[in-house]
Amino acid sequence: MRGISSREGGAKSVLSLGLTEGTGKVEGVKIDMDNVHNCSLYELRQSLMKRGHFLEDYKGPITFEILLSKMVSCLQDDLAAETTAKLAVSEKEKLGDVKDDGTVETLSEKLARKKAERKREAEERSRIRQEERGYFKEKEKLNVEAVEKKREKMEERKIIGEVEGGEKEEQTEQTEEEGDGKTKDPFGLKFRSKIGGCYS
C-alpha cells in the first residue's frame, strides 16, 4: 500500500492550475521556493529543460526527489544572484544618486560632475570680470583702502598701548612706595599650610 504524499490526493499541481485547456502551456505561473514542492515530475522536468539544467548526463533512474533537489538548487542560485544584485544596487544608492532613467550615479561620478560644474561657473564669472573694464581698478582701490585702514588701526593700538603702559608703570611705583617695607617673595605661598612645617 502506498503512502499519501502532498503530490497525490487533495494537493493540486501548481502548474496545472495555470494551464489553458487543450494547449498544455503554462500561463504566468512561476516556480519558486514556495511552490516547488507541489510541482509534478513532468513540470519539474519541463522547467529544468527550459533552464538548461536537466540531468542529461545522469545515468541512473530519474526520480521526483532527484529533479526536486536539482530544481531547489537552481532556485537557490537564482535567489543568491538576485540578492547580490539588490545589494549592489542598494550600495550604489547609498554611495550615489539614482537618476530618472534608472541608472545609478556613483559617488566618484557625482563628485566629478559637481567639480566640472563649479569649474564652468568659475570660468563664466572670470570671463564676466575680464569684460568689465573697471573691475580690476576697483579691486585694487579696495585693497589699498583696506591696507590703509589696517595701518591706522595698528597705529591707534600702538599709541593706546604706550599710554596705558606708562600708567601701569606709575601705578607699580606707587604701590612699591606704599608697601610696608617687606620684600615680597615672588615664589612665596599666598596661604599658610596647615600640615607640618614652620613657615614665616
Secondary structure class of 157 (helix, strand, coil): helix
| 41-55, 62-76, 86-100, 167-181: which is most confident | 62-76
User: Rounded to an integer, what distance in angstroms lies between the CA atom of residue 139 and that of residue 150?
Assistant: 17
Do 88 and 138 have their domain in common? no
Do 32 and 82 have their domain in common? yes
Do 81 and 26 have their domain in common? yes
Q: Which domain holds residue 23?
A: 14-95
User: Rounded to an integer, what distance in angstroms lies between the CA atom of residue 31 and that of residue 47?
Assistant: 8
Residue with cell 600708567: 167
User: Rounded to an integer, what distance in angstroms lies between the CA atom of residue 54 and that of residue 52?
Assistant: 6
In a domain, 161, yes or no: yes
Tens digit of pLDDT for each residue in 85-113? 998 877 776 766 666 676 767 778 888 99
Q: Which whole number is the average pLDDT over 111-117?
A: 93
Q: How confident is the model at residue 150 (pLDDT cuts 50, 70, 90)?
A: very high
Q: What is this structure's pTM?
A: 0.38
Do 138 and 91 have their domain in common? no
Indicate whether 2 pLDDT > 60: no
What residues have CB less than 8 Å from 189, skipping those under 6 apart?
199
In a domain, 186, yes or no: no
Task: Give the cell for residue 51.
Answer: 533552464
In a domain, 195, yes or no: no
Do 144 and 84 have their domain in common? no
In a domain, 2, yes or no: no
In a domain, 128, yes or no: no
Residue with cell 545515468: 59
Task: Give the cell for residue 141.
Answer: 582701490
| 45-54, 68-77, 113-122: which is most confident | 113-122
Indicate whether 177 pLDDT > 70: no
In a domain, 71, yes or no: yes
In a domain, 180, yes or no: no
Do 74 and 139 have their domain in common? no
| Number of domains making up the chain | 2
Q: Which whole number is the average pLDDT over 145-167?
A: 82
In a domain, 37, yes or no: yes
Do 20 and 88 have their domain in common? yes
- Whether the Cβ atoms of residue 18 and residue 26 lie closer than 8 Å to each other: yes
Amino acid at 173: E
Percent of the residues in the chain that have a pLDDT greater than 90, as a whole number: 18
